[in-house]
Structures are given as C-alpha cells and as structure tokens.
Chain A
Amino acid sequence: MIIEAKELGRDYVLHEGSLWRRRRVVKPALDGLDLTVEAGAAVGYLGANGAGKSTTIKMLTGILTPTRGQVRTCGLDPVPRRRELARQIGVVFGQRSQLWWDLPLGESYPILSAMHRLPGRIWKPRFDTLVDELDLSGFLGTPVRQLSLGQRMRGEVAAALVHSPDLLILDEPTIGLDMLSKERLRHFLVRERTERGTTLFLTTHDLSDVQRLCERMVIIDRGRVAFDGTEAELAAVTGARRRLVVDVVADDEPVLLDLPAGAEQLPTDDASRLQVEFASPLTAAGVLAAVQAQCSVVDIALTEPTIEELVGTIYRRASISSRT
C-alpha cells in the first residue's frame, strides 16, 4: 500500500468567547479515518468545505502532526521522515506555488532537481519530456509571477513530477482553470499514470476531474469516510434514479404503462414521448422490455444521474444524520 491510515485523527484547538472569558474548544477536523490506497491507483478524495480533505493531505505529506492514529505514506512515517518522503512524492497545491516567483519558470527546475539530488543525465531527459508533454517551451523564460494561471499550473505539475515520484498528490489542481487548460492537464495526468504507473491522489470540487482521472472515490464528511467505492457503486448506494426516454408510435390518447414495481412513469405533454424513472435493482433493459411489450418503440434515450447529484446525495445524507 502506498497510503495507509488507521484511526487517523487531528484536532484543532480554538479559543472562543470574550477576552476575559476565553474558552478552549477542541474541534476534530479528522476523526478515525481509515484509508488505504494501492500503488498505481487513482483515488478522488472528496468532501464538502471543512470536511477534512486538506487536513488529510497535510498529514499524509508530513507537514501536520496527527493528534491520534497512524499513517504511512510510501511506507514512511510522514512527520519524522518528511524530507525523505518528499523525494518519493510530488504535491501540487492549486492555491500555492512551489516555483520561485521572481525567476523565469525554467530556472526553478535545476534548483528542484538539485534538491532531489538528481544528476543531469536523469533529470534533464525527464524535464525535456515534461516540457514537451505539458507544452512549457513557449514560456520557460517568463518569470513565474507573469504566467497565466493555466501556464503556472502546468509548470507546477512539471515541478511535482520532475523527480518521477511514486505518488502524486493533487489538491484542487484545476481550480480557476478554463475548460481547455483543464482538459489538457487531465489528458497529461491520464497519460502519466498509464505510462509510469504513478499513483494519483486527488482532491477537488470539480467532479469531472474525478470522472476523468479516478476509478475510485472516497467521500469524507466531518473527518470520517462516508463513501468508498466506484461511481457505479455510488449510484447504487445513493439509490439514484435513472430516466428512460422512449419515443413511441402513439394515438392522441396518452399511453399509461403497466411497469414493474420501482419504476415510475412521469407525465409528459407529448403523447408520443414516454419517460420512465427507475432505480437499481431494475435495469434499463428490463424497463425497456416492459415498455416494448405495450408500445411500438421508435427511439430511446437513457439519462444517468450526474456525479454531482450522486455526491450531493451523500453530502446531504451526512448533513441530515449529523443533525438527528
């Protein structure tokens, strides 16, 4: 396992009240997190604001000391062996920069490679590949502070990967990027993982990042795992309803279908268009067969619930359960 967390917890201490009656309040940001990630996997780590995503990343990388529990990243205890761990991981913070702000972009990489103790014969070919694949050549001579956000993020990803880490941790890497820049970055990350087997651990609020990059989603809420599985499993767990739209040969009279239990016909204005909502364990094939038995089908379309709806359901459930 490249990441192993067991009963991991972190408390923040706040001081509330007036100056004279200050109270010390302990708030758990993460509480009893159990998480394992296999080498080569791609995991989307999701949660609402304040759920504990960034706290987890800080503990996985060794910049935050856990209050309780155990954590191992690349087989190392992150806090005491932080610098050793830094040679094996790459981290991209969407809102922070690891590049030298006033220097031309290209001057950051010799410094980073020297810190990683990489000889020129190792890092230079790797750097050339990254420049090529991330299309950095046009602005290597531009100071980092003058780069556009999309250019800087590509530079940040190259900085995180120049030492070919086993694990790449991405904390909201596409925040603020336009669609083209997002797509280019995602495309590169998919290729990087395919070709080099780099493990991806991604936090984001942009769920299309997760759909494109990750086969596994971990959703946390108030510091605990609320869901861990694939998108299909998420759809099953949330009881999300799919919608089958069927165009039929119809008379003027609306068709009332006799459907299996769990399927529901939705009202429509158009007598030739039927809409049926259903959830697991019913299948689209089963519902369609029932419709075909009663009408002449001309065309069909199947609408899946969006990932935003699925994740939103988990967030809402967690929110309701915390209030009750």
Chain B
Amino acid sequence: MRALWELVIGGFRRWARYRVATLTALLANSVFGLIRASLLLAAVQAAGGTVNGYTAASAATYVWVTQAMLGPVELWGSYPREVGLRIKSGDFAVDLLRPAHPLAQWWATDLGRGASQLLPRFIPMMLVGAVTTGLVLPTQPWLWLAFLCSMVLANTLCLFCWLVVNLLGLWLVDIRGFLVFFMVVFNTLSGFLVPVQWFPDWLRTLVGHTFLPSMWQTPADLATGLARGRVLEVLTTQLGWVLVLGLVVALVLRWGTRSLEVQGG
C-alpha cells in the first residue's frame, strides 16, 4: 500500500509541475466548452425546450461538467500513451524490473495525475460554466461524493481501455491506426460529443450494453441529476466494468510480456 501511495504522490507532484500546460489546457477547454454549449443549447431550443430528458439548464451543466472532467479523467489517454511509447522505446523493461505489478504502478500514478487536475482544471472550468451559462448542480453532499467516486471509476476505466490499446505495441510495430480508431470510438460513443441519451434508440441500446457510457456519461448523469434514483446501480455498473477491463489488461500484459522482445542494449 505504501508503494501505491508513494506512486500516487509522485503522479500528483509530476503533473502539478506542468503549470503552463495546465493553463493553456484550461483556456482551450473554455473556448471549446462555449462552442459545445452553444450547439447543445441551440439543439434543445430547436427541439422545443427538452431533448430526451435534457433541458437547457441540464444540457449546459452536462457540457461544463464534461469539459471540467477532461482534466482529471483520461478520456484521450495521454498517460497510457506514455506507456505505449515506453514499450516502443524498450524503456518498458525498466517497469518490469520493479518489484510491483506494472498495472498497479500505472493505476496509482494516474490516480495522482487525476487528483492533481481537480484544483487547476476541474474547479475553474465549473466556474466558467457557472458564469457563462449557469449550472444546475446537486445540492446533497452524498451526490457529490457519488460523483467523485464515479469520476475515479471513469478515469480508471479510461486508463484500462487505453492501456489495452497501447499494449498492442507488444505485438505490433506501429499502433497509430488503433489509436485514431479508438479515439473516435471513445469520443463519440462514451457520451463526450453528445449525451448518450441523444443517440438513436438502436445505438443507445447497443452502447448501453458496453463499458462506453461508464467511461464518461455516468459521472455526467450523476452531476446533471439524470441518474437520480439509480445512483447505486450506475456506480455498481461502473465498478463491474472496471473489474472486467482490469482483468483484460492484466491478461494482455501477461501474454505480452511473455512474447516481449526488448531490442537493443
């Protein structure tokens, strides 16, 4: 446990050092947040005031909560990409020579990274949303606690999904095609671009049977109140997918390290 804690702290300290990068990311997220909010609010207005449970206020809240989550939750997989690059360069061998499971090392580091983004990215983005469009947020503290748990589970799920993609580098020389493919899949089907509730019925049903909404839509639903009355159910579903994907990553890692060929010295 002490090793995990030290790695969490190390991850926190590492990402807390990138102050300029954090500031520019915050600015970019704010601009794109305004664009997304304009589009979604226009869609709600055109539909007569509600779209599949979303009012103008909840649509705006959805946009700013998801923009804020871009800091702590790794939907785009930048840290797992580092793992992929370490596999490509052979530095992955060093991770294997440490007396801790690589998956535990990565998870703890990423947890620290996510925590480091709460203060400089999540909270300012919510303030931008509150000032520009207004937000409708939960008032009960336990719902905030559920949201926080959901965000941790979503981040873990994103990490595991991207690790599976990046671990393909143990067999393939170049995985850029897979990275682009899964970036498109995760962006569109997890509920990042538009809420999963806005998908056509057949697609919503299909996606609902996968882990994709648990990566992103679930914490947003908890923040907007769309998961009211189903809090325990959605958290349990997320946890289930985390365990399944965790097992998949561990197995892929096990197979991959057996066939590992670190070239060069």
A residues near B (Cβ < 8 Å) are: 12, 53-54, 58, 61-65, 79, 82-84, 86-87, 91, 93-98, 100, 102-103, 107, 110-112, 114-117, 143, 171-172
On chain A, the residues within 8 Å of B101 by CB distance are 83
Is B3 a contact of A86 with CB atoms below 8 Å? no
On chain A, the residues within 8 Å of B100 by CB distance are 83, 115
On chain B, the residues within 8 Å of A115 by CB distance are 3, 6, 98-100
Selected from B94, B259, B260, the residue in CB contact (under 8 A) with A96 is B94
B197 at the interface (CB under 8 A from A): no
Is A107 a contact of B265 with CB atoms below 8 Å? no
Please name 7 pairs of A and B residues whose Cβ atoms are closer than 8 Å in the assembled complex, sorted by A.
A12-B261, A63-B93, A64-B261, A83-B99, A96-B94, A114-B5, A115-B98
Is B91 a contact of A86 with CB atoms below 8 Å? no
B262 at the interface (CB under 8 A from A): yes
Selected from A62, A79, A98, A117, the residue in CB contact (under 8 A) with B3 is A117
On chain A, the residues within 8 Å of B141 by CB distance are none
Question: With the chains together, A63 CA to B2 CA distance in Å?
Answer: 25
On chain A, the residues within 8 Å of B17 by CB distance are 102, 143
Return B151 CB to nearest CB of chain A, in Å: 24
Selected from A12, A65, A86, A93, the residue in CB contact (under 8 A) with B99 is A86
What are the nearest 7 A-B pairs in CB distance?
Answer: A86-B99, A114-B3, A114-B6, A114-B2, A111-B6, A115-B3, A115-B100
Is A103 a contact of B96 with CB atoms below 8 Å? no
Is A93 a contact of B6 with CB atoms below 8 Å? no
On chain A, the residues within 8 Å of B10 by CB distance are 100, 103, 107, 111
Known: A114-B6, A115-B3. A96 touches B99 (CB 8 A): no
Question: With the chains together, A172 CA to B17 CA distance in Å?
Answer: 32
On chain B, the residues within 8 Å of A53 by CB distance are 265
Specify the chain A residue showing the minimal Cβ separation from B90. Answer: A96
Is B94 a contact of A97 with CB atoms below 8 Å? yes
Is A94 a contact of B265 with CB atoms below 8 Å? yes
Return A9 CB to nearest CB of chain B, in Å: 15
Additional A-B contacts beyond A54-B264, A63-B260 (19; CB < 8 A) = A61-B97, A63-B93, A65-B258, A65-B259, A83-B98, A83-B100, A83-B101, A87-B99, A95-B264, A96-B91, A98-B97, A103-B10, A107-B13, A111-B7, A114-B2, A115-B3, A115-B100, A117-B2, A117-B3
Return B67 CB to nearest CB of chain A, in Å: 26
Is A100 a contact of B14 with CB atoms below 8 Å? yes
Is A86 a contact of B98 with CB atoms below 8 Å? yes
Selected from B13, B98, B260, B265, the residue in CB contact (under 8 A) with A103 is B13
B257 at the interface (CB under 8 A from A): yes
The CB with the most chain A CB atoms within 10 A, among B14, B97, B100, B260, is that of B97
On chain B, the residues within 8 Å of A98 by CB distance are 94, 97-98
On chain B, the residues within 8 Å of A58 by CB distance are 93, 262
Specify the chain B residue showing the minimal Cβ separation from A171. Answer: B265
B residues near A (Cβ < 8 Å) are: 2-3, 5-7, 10, 13-14, 17, 90-91, 93-94, 96-101, 257-262, 264-265
The CB with the most chain A CB atoms within 10 A, among B6, B91, B264, B265, is that of B265
Is A96 a contact of B93 with CB atoms below 8 Å? yes
Question: With the chains together, A205 CA to B142 CA distance in Å?
Answer: 63
Selected from A63, A84, A110, A117, the residue in CB contact (under 8 A) with B97 is A63
On chain B, the residues within 8 Å of A171 by CB distance are 265
Specify the chain A residue showing the minimal Cβ separation from B108. Answer: A111
Known: A93-B265, A100-B14. A63 touches B96 (CB 8 A): yes
On chain A, the residues within 8 Å of B90 by CB distance are 96
Is A63 a contact of B257 with CB atoms below 8 Å? yes
Specify the chain A residue showing the minimal Cβ separation from B94. Answer: A98
Specify the chain B residue showing the minimal Cβ separation from A110. Answer: B6
Return B263 CB to nearest CB of chain A, in Å: 9
Question: With the chains together, A143 CA to B6 CA distance in Å?
Answer: 17
Is B14 a contact of A86 with CB atoms below 8 Å? no
Specify the chain A residue showing the minimal Cβ separation from B89. Answer: A96
The CB with the most chain A CB atoms within 10 A, among B13, B94, B99, B262, is that of B99
Return B233 CB to nearest CB of chain A, in Å: 37
Return B224 CB to nearest CB of chain A, in Å: 36
On chain A, the residues within 8 Å of B7 by CB distance are 111, 114
On chain A, the residues within 8 Å of B99 by CB distance are 83-84, 86-87, 115-117
On chain A, the residues within 8 Å of B6 by CB distance are 110-111, 114-115
Question: With the chains together, A53 CA to B6 CA distance in Å?
Answer: 34
On chain B, the residues within 8 Å of A86 by CB distance are 97-99
Return A105 CB to nearest CB of chain B, in Å: 13
Question: With the chains together, A116 CA to B99 CA distance in Å?
Answer: 6
Question: With the chains together, A64 CA to B99 CA distance in Å?
Answer: 16
Question: With the chains together, A83 CA to B5 CA distance in Å?
Answer: 19
Return B256 CB to nearest CB of chain A, in Å: 12
Question: With the chains together, A53 CA to B265 CA distance in Å?
Answer: 8
Return B203 CB to nearest CB of chain A, in Å: 37
Is A93 a contact of B94 with CB atoms below 8 Å? yes
On chain B, the residues within 8 Å of A83 by CB distance are 98-101
